[in-house]
């Protein structure tokens, strides 16, 4: 579990994170959502130690990351895998060498063992046969999958994903979402995903933190988000008419007032959902 | 004020370079890769510049030495000393500041912008040690070697130009090369080579490592790195001459 307590971060006097307190639950897919500029990327970069917060505490399994010396922080970082928004693959290295890089740096295994592990994770992200390709030869979705493979190759305890769906078509985005969700379950990782993709929120979010203008506005599960009365959250999540209708449908369905088949029939006929 | 802030950040980068490598073998591979990139990658331009630098130096010296009392072998002495003292270490290093410096700044800048440096940090790797130190060390090894090569080729270039144009006989040129030779000049050239190597690698690394923004900023950082490196080389050249040639 990762706990963030009273975290503050500003750049040149401009407050980006204002007293943020949140919990990322162990073994679950935790989502940080919010509009652009709401501070979610800064929050993630503070949590992984790329930014030094002005004040506040970050606790990894109860241990205060902020109070640790650099060697201890390094040990924590070795338990972290991260998928970056632009994948951050090393341009000069092939897919195989990109994924093998953390193994080369931190293990003393022989080449055959390392290659076996690389092939295992590449198979897991459905990239068999792409070993010798360079990042420039890959599509956006493939780059993300290589990024995930590199992030999980050392069996991390924590997986951070910064906008994993940005720049991807909806179908590929769903594949990436599903992959992140499956990996979280299989490897029992604590996953933290930064996103403003509503599909991700509804499909993968076990625990959701909503950020607004540097403040944590709301925290809860994806079931709770449907019934939330928080206006800002509702405006953000259900921005379009289509999503508002979908929310109404889901609320009715969850409250047991209507059944799925009937909703679908009525939607297909254009009559809208009716309360039974 | 900005200068002092930048200088402080530069010193912190230099201090941050020296940490225990996570895996010595990986760092050694990176060092060898940089030696190949910096050393062999710059070989072509150094060979061409050095040869013509010596050749032009010989022709221009001959043009100015019209007094029949001055022996022709003096041309070889002047070419030798000019090349060793100034042309090989300073001119070649200024060219290398452009070739190597812009490469280092743009490579690190691109890695910063595309979050590759962040990816290294997340893995628990000291990016300053892994990315900057091998480049600085490779420059410190390869550039003085290029300076020595440049001096030799400059002298050969002078010989070829002077003898082929009939200004001086080959044996007279060779005789002139050995007259009044001061070995200290070679030491001075190497001191300059090492000093400039450090400047050529560390200044662009600083500007590249701290790029913020996108491709436009990478270009700006690269240009700034080359300009500042050249100014630093010329300043260091003056200081070293003032201190070591008294």
Q: Is residue A34 part of a domain?
A: yes
Q: Is A155 in the same domain as A258?
A: no
CATH of the domain at A86: 3.40.50.300
Chain B interface test: which of A74, A75, A80, A81 (most B C-beta within 10 Å) = A74
What is d(CA A219, CA A231) in angstroms, rounded to the nearest whole number?
14
Residue A235 lies in a domain: no
**Does A252 reside within a domain?**
yes
A36 and A117 in a single domain? The answer is yes
| SS3 state at A53 | coil
Q: Is residue A260 part of a domain?
A: yes
* Å between B173 CA and nearest CA of chain A: 48
> Could you list the residue range(s) of the whole structural domain that residue A257 is in?
240-276
Q: Which residues in chain B are contacts of A78 at CB distance < 8 A?
A: 123-124
What is residue A275's predicted lDDT score, i.e. its pLDDT?
41
CA distance B139 to chain A (A): 21
The distance of A178 to chain B (nearest Cα, Å) reads 23
Mean pLDDT within B78-102: 94
Instruction: Point out the least confidently predicted range of A26-40, A218-232, B61-75, B98-112.
Output: A218-232
Give the nearest chain B residue to A86 (CA atoms): B114
Q: In this model, does residue A264 exceed pLDDT 70?
A: no
Structure tokens at B145: 């070697």
Residues of B in contact with A89 (CB under 8 A): 116
Q: Is A7 helix (H, G, I), strand (E, B) or coil?
A: strand
pLDDT of residue B66: 82
Mean pLDDT of all residues belonging to chain B: 93
Residue B164 or A226, more confident: B164
Q: Do A84 and B23 touch (CB under 8 A)?
A: no
Distance from CA of A176 to the nearest CA of B (A): 19
Q: Which of B110, B114, B124 sits opposite A77 (nearest CB)?
A: B124
Helix (H, G, I), strand (E, B) or coil at A65: coil
| Chain B residue closest in CA terms to A48 | B122
Q: Which tokens go with A55?
A: 């004040």
The number of helix segments (H) and strand segments (E) in chain B equals 12, 0
- CA A97, A103, A104, A106 dihedral sign is positive
Is A234 part of any domain?
Answer: no
Q: State the Cα–Cα distance between residues B112 and B114, nearest whole angstrom.
A: 6
Give the Cα separation of B58 and B43 in Å (integer).
23
Is B124 in Cβ contact with A84 (below 8 Å)? no
The neighbouring-strand residues paired with A83 are A161
A77 domain-assigned: yes
Of A80, A89, A105, which is closest to B122 when you measure between CB atoms? A80
A185 CA: distance to closest CA in chain B (Å): 22
Residues A145 and A245 in one domain: no
Angle at B98 between CA B92 and CA B99, to 5 degrees: 85
Q: Are A37 and A198 in contact (CB under 8 A)?
A: no
Q: Quick one: residue A215, left, alpha or beta (phi over 0 = left, psi -120 to 50 = alpha)?
A: beta
CA dist B95 and B136 (Å) reads 17
Residues of B in contact with A75 (CB under 8 A): 124
Residues 6+ apart with CB under 8 A from A250: A226
Give the pLDDT score at B208.
95
CB contact under 8 A, A105 and B118: no
% residues pLDDT > 70 (chain B): 100
**Distance between CA A267 and CA A70 in Å, rounded?**
58
Same domain, A160 and A263: no
Beta carbons within 8 Å of B121's beta carbon, 6+ residues apart: A49, A50, A77, B127
Cα-based distances in Å from A36 to A6, A17, A40, A144, B184: 22, 13, 8, 21, 63
Q: How many residues does chain B have?
A: 246
Mean pLDDT of B105-117: 94
Can you give the pLDDT at residue B186? 94
Q: Say if the Cβ atoms of A48 and B122 lie within 8 Å.
A: yes
pLDDT of residue A174: 85
Helix boundaries (H) for B65-128: 73-82, 92-96, 102-113, 116-122, 127
Looking at the structure, do residues A63 and A185 belong to the same domain, yes or no?
yes
Residue A268's pLDDT band, with cuts at 50, 70 and 90, is very low
Is there a single domain that holds both residue A136 and residue A199? yes
Q: Do A21 and A134 belong to one domain?
A: yes
Calculate mean pLDDT across residues A136-149: 91
Answer yes or no: is A232 within a domain: no
Q: What's the predicted TM-score (pTM) here?
A: 0.85
Provide the shortest C-alpha distance from residue B161 to chain A (in Å): 43
Could you tell me if A196 and A269 lie in one domain? Answer: no
CB A150 within 8 A of CB A98: yes
Q: Clarify whether residues A20 and A73 are in a common domain.
A: yes
Same domain, A95 and A188: yes
pLDDT tier for residue A276 given thresholds of 50, 70 and 90: very low
| Nearest CA-CA partner of B176 in B52, B61, B60 | B61
> How many structural domains comprise chain A?
2
Burial of B246 (0-12, 13-18, 19+ CB in 10 A): exposed
Do A192 and A247 fall within a single domain?
no
Strands of A190-195's sheet, edge to edge? A80-83, A158-162, A190-195, A29-33, A207-212, A215-220
Flag whether pLDDT at A269 surpasses 90: no
Q: Are residues A80 and A210 in the same domain?
A: yes
B118/A88 Cβ within 8 A: yes
Backbone torsions φ then ψ of A81, nearest 5 degrees: -115, 145
Q: Which of A78, A84, A101 sits opposite B124 (nearest CB)?
A: A78
Q: Residue for token digits 């590929």?
A: A172
Within a domain: A233: no
Set of chain A residues whose Cβ sits within 8 Å of the Cβ of B123: 77-78, 101-102, 105-106
Q: Is pLDDT above 70 for A240?
A: no
């Amino acid at each position: 579990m990762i706990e963030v307590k009273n975290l503050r971060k500003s750049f040149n006097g401009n407050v980006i994170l204002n007293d943020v307190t949140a919990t990322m639950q162990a073994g679950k897919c935790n989502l940080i959502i919010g509009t652009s500029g709401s501070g979610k990327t800064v929050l993630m970069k503070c949590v992984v130690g790329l930014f030094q917060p002005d004040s506040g505490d970050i606790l990894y399994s109860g241990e205060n990351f902020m109070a640790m010396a650099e060697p201890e922080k390094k040990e924590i970082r070795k338990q972290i895998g991260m998928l970056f928004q632009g994948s951050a693959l090393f341009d000069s290295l092939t897919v195989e060498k990109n994924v093998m890089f953390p193994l080369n740096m931190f293990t003393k295994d022989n080449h055959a063992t390392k290659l076996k592990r690389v092939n295992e994770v590449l198979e897991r992200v459905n990239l068999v046969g792409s070993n010798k390709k360079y990042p420039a030869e890959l599509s956006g979705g493939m780059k993300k999958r290589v990024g995930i493979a590199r992030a999980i190759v050392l069996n991390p305890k924590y997986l951070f994903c910064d906008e994993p769906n940005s720049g991807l078509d909806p179908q590929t985005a769903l594949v990436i979402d599903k992959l992140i969700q499956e990996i979280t379950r299989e490897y029992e990782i604590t996953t933290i995903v930064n996103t403003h993709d509503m599909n991700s929120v509804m499909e993968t979010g076990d625990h959701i933190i909503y950020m607004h203008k540097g403040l944590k506005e709301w925290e809860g599960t994806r079931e709770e988000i449907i019934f939330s009365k928080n206006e800002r959250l509702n405006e953000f999540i259900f921005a379009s008419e289509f999503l508002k209708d979908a929310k109404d449908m889901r609320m009715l369905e969850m409250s047991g007032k209507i059944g799925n088949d009937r909703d679908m029939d009525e939607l297909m006929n254009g009559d809208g959902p009716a309360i039974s | 004020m900005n200068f002092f802030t930048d200088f402080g950040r530069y010193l912190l980068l230099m201090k941050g370079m020296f940490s225990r490598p996570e895996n010595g073998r990986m760092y050694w591979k990176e060092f060898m890769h940089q030696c190949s990139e910096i050393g062999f990658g710059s070989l072509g331009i150094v060979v061409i510049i050095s040869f013509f630098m010596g050749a032009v130096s010989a022709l221009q010296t001959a043009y100015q030495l019209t007094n029949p009392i001055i022996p022709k072998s003096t041309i070889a002495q002047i070419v030798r000393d000019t090349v060793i003292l100034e042309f090989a270490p300073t001119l070649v290093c200024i060219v290398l500041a452009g070739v190597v410096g812009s490469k280092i700044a743009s490579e690190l800048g691109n890695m910063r912008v595309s979050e590759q440096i962040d990816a290294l940090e997340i893995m628990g790797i000291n990016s300053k040690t892994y990315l900057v130190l091998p480049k600085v060390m490779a420059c410190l090894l390869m550039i003085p070697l290029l300076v020595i090569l440049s001096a030799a080729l400059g002298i050969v270039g002078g010989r070829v130009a002077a003898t082929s144009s009939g200004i001086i006989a080959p044996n007279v040129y060779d005789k002139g090369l050995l007259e009044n030779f001061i070995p200290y000049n070679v030491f001075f050239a190497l001191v300059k080579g090492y000093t400039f190597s450090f400047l050529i690698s560390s200044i662009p690394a600083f500007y590249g490592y701290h790029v913020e923004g996108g491709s436009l900023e990478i270009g700006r950082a690269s240009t700034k790195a080359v300009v500042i490196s050249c100014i630093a080389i010329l300043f260091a050249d003056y200081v070293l001459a003032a201190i070591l040639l008294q």
